[in-house]
């Protein structure tokens, strides 16, 4: 049964759909908090009346309506710049994408750029022609839309809005896909993969709807958790053969690494170190406006080369090993063009730090459950001595390499030696330790970016467990390597 939804209902639906994007992506760019909230409010204010006039009183979805939604997500005079296959591609809002697209999760079909409008029209007409729509039909349209991937960016946002509006129109339970995306990106990949792998089975869509509803209740059932664990364990077993706990010898590690890269030489180490730097800094670069990106691309590439040179000369090719001077040099090279940097202290007061110098005031890590409460880190006067102990333990370690690097970064996090940018530094160090030992890094930065809340929950739970289990971190390594192999 359809309903003529009024503007207030539309506004409430759109607000809840888009709320997870407040502070991220399209609706924020690199603006100040006041500008972010203003832009978000403008989007919410502009959308309901148009949706009411051009959607609510119609029984069908149209391509014009879909394109208009995309246009309204972006401020006036915005150009979309996306980075795909090591190239920058430019699009206007509402314009169909002008570059080829390869989905992260393999599908039986996806649209080439010249077929975007034709394919989207086909799937939309099929959906519109369904007489008695159910949530299953809408879920299928959701996956079909993502196969077409019609826009350069914000496809997940557009289809999330469409799905939640359709659910409201037909009195269905909303999907809230953006909320799932920002709470647990890996879970979204899980059910998308499940759908693609079982698309011929009639019950697949119903199962996924059950997964989604259970997730939105903040109560994933034991069955789903078990299913997720099966996927992880299967992936881990495939990656590391007979032992899912990842306890295999150095010879096995080298053989596995050859699957990711056939050569372990000086050039390989430099290339992979450069890639590690770019993985860490590129997401920050993309938060800038397209004009700034275009203007500063050469500066960004030069910065990556500078950091790579410091890593190669100071650690990878050095016989000395890890040193405090090298770590301070990383911090200094992050801000190679500045003598001092404005930062906010743990108490949200403004202060200045000198790049390359340790903190002079106590700091802490904000707790996820209570953001105003901080987990205290090492006091400033003890930073150097604690770092020396950590470096010594790293050099003396003869055990399992992945446990070694994970425990290194956890301890570095607890020390938190600098006023800011500790996260970037330990992300670099984890990759560097592996590269130094001739092992392909698992790029913790990419995992963190895609699973941010889950990542910080792992770190904070570890610091509170009486029995400190490494299993969640081993699963992280397995998932990261699985993604790398898929890309290969």
pLDDT of 256 strictly over 50:
yes
The Cα–Cα gap between 403 and 246 comes to 10
The Cα–Cα gap between 205 and 232 comes to 21
The residue with tokens 């394109």 is 67
Contact 174, 139 (CB under 8 A): no
Chain centroid offset of residue 332 CA: 26
Residue 288 has what DSSP assignment? S
Residue 82 vs residue 119, higher pLDDT: 119
Residue 24, pLDDT score: 46
Residue 301 vs residue 227, higher pLDDT: 301
Token pair for residue 474? Answer: 């081993």
The Cα–Cα gap between 380 and 351 comes to 15
Token pair for residue 239? Answer: 């990656």
CB atoms within 10 A of CB 416: 23
Full-model pTM: 0.55
- Closest to 300 measured CA to CA, from 34, 81, 22: 81
Residue 94 has what DSSP assignment? T
Position 201 confidence tier, pLDDT thresholds 50, 70, 90: low
Query: Which of 125-134, 147-156, 341-350, 386-395 is the least confident region?
Result: 341-350
- Coil/strand/helix, residue 374: strand
Compute the average pLDDT of residues 120-136.
92
Task: Specify the pairing of strand 350-353 against strand 364-366.
Answer: unpaired
Token pair for residue 164? Answer: 């939640």
* Helix, strand, coil share (%) of the chain residues, nearest 5: 60, 5, 35
Residue 247, pLDDT score: 43
pLDDT of 484 strictly over 90:
no
**Percent with pLDDT over 90 in the chain:** 23
Chain centroid offset of residue 350 CA: 28
Residue 209 has what DSSP assignment? H
pLDDT of 329 strictly over 70:
yes
Residue 37, pLDDT score: 60
The Cα–Cα gap between 379 and 39 comes to 40
Is residue 4 packed enough to be buried (19+ CB in 10 Å), middle (13-18) or exposed (0-12)? exposed
Token pair for residue 358? Answer: 């340790």
pLDDT of 427 strictly over 80:
yes
Position 468 confidence tier, pLDDT thresholds 50, 70, 90: low
Compute the average pLDDT of residues 373-377.
72
Residue 343 has what DSSP assignment? E
Residue 59 has what DSSP assignment? S
Position 221 confidence tier, pLDDT thresholds 50, 70, 90: very low
- Closest to 279 measured CA to CA, from 449, 410, 413: 449
Output the average pLDDT for the chain: 78
pLDDT of 152 strictly over 80:
yes
DSSP H helices, 356-468, are 383-396, 401-415, 422-436, 444-450, 452-464
β-strand partners of 351:
343
Contact 42, 202 (CB under 8 A): no
User: Which residues have CB under 8 Å from 136's CB, separation 6+?
Assistant: 205, 206, 209
DSSP letters spanning 242-264: T-TT----HHHHHHHHHHH-S--
The Cα–Cα gap between 108 and 124 comes to 18
pLDDT of 328 strictly over 80:
yes
Residue 243, pLDDT score: 39
Token pair for residue 443? Answer: 């790029």
């Amino acid at each position: 049964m359809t309903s003529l939804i009024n503007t207030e209902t539309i506004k409430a639906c759109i607000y809840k759909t888009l709320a997870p994007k407040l502070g991220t992506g399209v609706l924020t760019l690199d603006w100040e908090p006041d500008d972010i909230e203003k832009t978000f409010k403008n989007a919410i204010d502009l959308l309901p009346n148009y949706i009411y006039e051009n959607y609510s009183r119609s029984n069908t979805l149209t391509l014009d309506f879909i394109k208009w939604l995309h246009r309204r997500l972006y401020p006036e005079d915005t150009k979309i710049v996306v980075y795909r296959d090591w190239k920058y591609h430019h699009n206007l809002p509402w314009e169909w994408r002008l570059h080829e697209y390869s989905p992260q999760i393999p599908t039986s079909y996806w649209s080439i750029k010249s077929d975007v409008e034709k394919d989207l029209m086909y799937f939309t007409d099929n959906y519109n022609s369904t007489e008695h729509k159910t949530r299953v039909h809408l879920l299928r349209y959701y996956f079909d839309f993502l196969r077409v991937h019609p826009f350069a960016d914000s496809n997940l946002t557009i289809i999330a809005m469409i799905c939640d509006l359709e659910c409201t129109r037909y009195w269905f339970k909303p999907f809230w896909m953006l909320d799932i995306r920002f709470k647990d990106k890996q879970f979204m990949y899980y059910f998308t993969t499940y759908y693609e792998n079982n698309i011929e089975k009639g019950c697949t869509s119903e199962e996924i709807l059950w997964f989604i509803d259970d997730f939105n209740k903040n109560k994933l059932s034991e069955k789903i958790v078990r299913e997720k664990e099966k996927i992880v364990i299967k992936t881990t077993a495939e990656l590391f053969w007979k032992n899912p706990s990842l306890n295999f010898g150095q010879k096995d590690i080298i053989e596995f690494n050859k699957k990711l890269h056939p050569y372990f030489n000086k050039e390989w180490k430099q290339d992979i170190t450069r890639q590690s730097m770019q993985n860490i800094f590129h997401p920050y670069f993309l938060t800038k406006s397209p004009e700034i990106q275009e203007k500063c691309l050469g500066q960004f590439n030069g910065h990556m080369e500078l950091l790579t040179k410091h890593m190669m000369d100071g650690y990878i090719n050095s016989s000395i090993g890890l040193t405090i001077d090298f770590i301070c040099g990383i911090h200094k090279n992050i801000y190679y063009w500045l003598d001092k940097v404005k930062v906010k202290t743990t108490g949200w007061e403004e202060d200045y730090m000198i790049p390359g110098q340790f903190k002079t005031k106590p700091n802490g890590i904000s707790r996820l459950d209570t953001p105003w409460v901080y987990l205290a880190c090492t006091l400033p006067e003890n930073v150097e001595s604690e770092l020396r102990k950590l470096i010594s333990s790293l050099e003396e370690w003869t055990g399992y390499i992945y446990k070694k690097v994970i425990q290194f970064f956890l301890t570095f996090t607890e020390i938190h030696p600098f006023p800011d940018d500790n996260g970037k530094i330990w992300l670099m160090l984890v990759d560097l330790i592996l590269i130094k030992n001739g092992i392909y890094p698992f790029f913790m930065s990419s995992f963190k970016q895609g699973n941010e809340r889950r990542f910080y929950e792992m770190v904070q739970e570890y610091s509170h467990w009486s029995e400190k289990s490494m299993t969640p971190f081993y699963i992280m390594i397995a998932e990261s390597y699985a993604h790398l192999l898929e890309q290969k």
